[in-house]
Chains A and B, each alone.
Chain A
Amino acid sequence: MSIVADFSAKRPTDPLLEIYLERRTNLVRFFAVRTGSITVAEDLAQELYVKLATRDPSVTAENPVALIYRIATNVMLDRARGDARSVARETAWRVIAHDTIGGDDVADQAPADDVAASRQRLRQLVEAVAELPPQMQRAFRLHKLEGRSHADTARVMGISVKSVEKHISAALKALTARLGR
């Protein structure tokens, strides 16, 4: 009897926390794609947990998953507005250099120790983009390489935002097929 009681006492009784724990890795990925850093993403996931655990429990939502993602977005905006961008640029190199990203933290290494390997990698990136069909390439360059928003890219290309998004995801698919493994 006491074992059962102990066990249940350890479990989070808040359904929102249960949902969070089930989806923790998904949320880390959600943060990682936005901040460009696994380390920052893990921090944010932790912060999100604290926020969920300390929130007013009487506030419920008809859609708890959507609510968690909404709070996650706020956590990220609250904290990462300025910094994340610079951290992202720096850490992303580490991420790609290690070629693994899911789950495992990326070790604290100086990015691009090996200049030759870095050159080689850059050449691969350039070649892969150069081979994209023209419209796809243009959208990808404007957005990803020059850092324009989707709306801005759409304006420059004279096409809809939706088409821009399609071009960019088609480009990313092609690039991943070529570069990723």
Chain B
Amino acid sequence: MVQAWRNGDDARREDAAAWVVRLEAGDLTDAEAVAFDGWLSAGPENALAFDAAMSVSQAYAAAGDAVTLELGARRSPPPAYGRRAVMGVGAMAAAAALAVVIAPQLVTADTQTYVTAKGERRTVQLADGSTIDLNGGTRLSVTLDRDMRRVSLDQGQAVFDVAHAPDRPFTIAVGDRTVRVVGTQFDVRRLEGKLSVTVARGAVEVRPAAGAAGRAYRLHPGQRLDHQEGATIAQIAPATAEEVLGWRQGRMVYREQPLSEVVADLNQQFATPIRIEDAALARTPISGVLIIDDQASVIQRLALLVPIRAVRSDAGVVLRRDVASDR
């Protein structure tokens, strides 16, 4: 436990130092400004860590000459800067500009997009050793570059098993949130503007994407975050990861989840769309296990959990409240 806290502090100190250095450089992009603001707002501990790093940085800036003098007196190897250091400012500016132009090309060099059809499940093995299990009706793209691993989950659901590589952060952009992985296994879904993240192992951080409002959360095993896109807030609730991740074995487990969410899941599995007739019915909480085999059987079993009747038409299946069996 103590160790965990220490690690948390250490990570915070690292973030704080990185932000101080990034901000001091003065060439903050819009996205960085928004990310910085989000990080600082995420909790008073972050602000404290930032102040500590800033204070140390400024102490050195103020005492630079004195410290250099003292260090020199200690016969520590003087930095061997040669004549390149005298190069004109113009040339340096040009070199800096060049670096900026080249970097984005390296970053976008290698993006892979993976798509699953409805009902199709697929496991993708990434070059860094991470694996992604895609549920049906999912589209995501992966960019691996030297110091960053990025996934964009456009739609659907996936379980990520991320290979540990602290110097290559793994982030998942999902709607107006960004999930930052600290090394771990977890489930992310985005269906109909509703985002959920459930952690099985390790820890992840979910923060508003650039431009989105809200605070960042750090999730631990057994926690699930739910968020409606566009909202500022998110809810954290306990969750059993094996249940949430059960879809990989064709098993969906629900605890007090609205029928609408169950139907959204089923619509990723079957070609024929299911619709719920009225909003009140859509909100009905569902608890139970659904084995996903064929659509008719699934709906039949769903009717055991909630009083519904399925009406088939050309447009698909409509679920109605079954008045006769109203409980």
Chain A residues in 8 Å Cβ range of B63:
93, 122, 125
Please tell me if the beta carbons of B71 and A141 are within 8 angstroms of each other in the complex.
Answer: yes
Residue of A nearest to B50 (CB): A29
Q: How many Å lie between the Cα of A92 and that of B20 in the bound state?
A: 15
User: Are B62 and A141 interface neighbours, CB within 8 A?
Assistant: no
Which B residues touch A142, using CB under 8 A? 79, 81
Cβ of B60 to closest chain A Cβ, rounded Å: 5
- A152:B55 contact, CB within 8 angstroms: no
Interface residues on A, range: 35 or more
Query: Contact at B36–A30, with CB atoms within 8 Å?
Result: yes
A95–B58 touching, CB < 8 Å: yes
CB distance from A69 to the nearest CB of B (A): 4
B23 interface contact, C-beta 8 A: yes
B87 within 8 A of A: yes
Query: B85 at the A/B interface (Cβ < 8 Å)?
Result: yes
Instruction: Find out whether the CB atom of B55 lies under 8 angstroms from the CB atom of A69.
Output: no
Q: How large is the interface on B (under 10, 10 to 19, 20 to 34, 35 or more residues)?
A: 35 or more
For chain B residues 1-42, which have a beta carbon within 8 Å of chain A?
10, 13-14, 16-18, 20-26, 28, 30-31, 33-34, 36-37, 40-41
Of B91-99, B136-144, B199-207, which binds chain A? B91-99
From the candidates B21, B23, B49, B147, name the one contacting A34 in the complex (CB within 8 A): B23
Determine how close the nearest CB of chain B comes to the CB of A24; give it in whole angstroms: 11
Q: For residue A29, which residues in chain B have a CB less than 8 angstroms away from its CB?
A: 40, 47, 50-51, 54
- From the candidates B55, B62, B85, name the one contacting A156 in the complex (CB within 8 A): B85
Would you call A129 and B79 a contact (CB within 8 A)?
no
Chain B 64-75, CB-CB to A under 8 Å as 1, else 0, gives 111110110010
Residue of B18, B23, B58, B61 with most chain A CB atoms under a 10 A cut-off = B58
Contact B26 A34 (CB under 8 A): yes
Structural contact, B53 and A172, CB atoms closer than 8 A: yes
* Contact string against B for A residues 151-181, beta-carbon threshold 8 Å, 1 for contact and 0 otherwise: 1100110001110010011101101110111
Task: Tell me the nearest residue of chain B to A89, going by C-beta.
Answer: B62
State whether the Cβ of A107 lies closer than 8 Å to any Cβ in chain B. Answer: no
Q: Which residue in chain B gives the minimum CB-CB distance to A177?
A: B13
Q: What separation, in Å, do the CA atoms of A103 and B210 have in the docked complex?
A: 26
Chain A residue numbers with a CB within 8 Å of B25 are 150, 165
CB distance from A121 to the nearest CB of B (A): 8
**Would you call B48 an interface residue if the criterion is a C-beta within 8 Å of the partner chain's C-beta atoms?**
yes
Q: Which residues of B sit under 8 angstroms from A50, Cβ to Cβ?
A: none
Interface pairs (17), CB distance under 8 Å: A26-B40, A29-B54, A34-B24, A63-B34, A69-B34, A95-B58, A99-B55, A100-B51, A102-B47, A130-B76, A134-B77, A144-B57, A145-B67, A169-B14, A169-B18, A172-B20, A173-B14
Closest 10 CB pairs of A and B: A69-B33, A92-B62, A66-B30, A180-B52, A92-B58, A173-B17, A63-B211, A96-B59, A172-B17, A151-B96
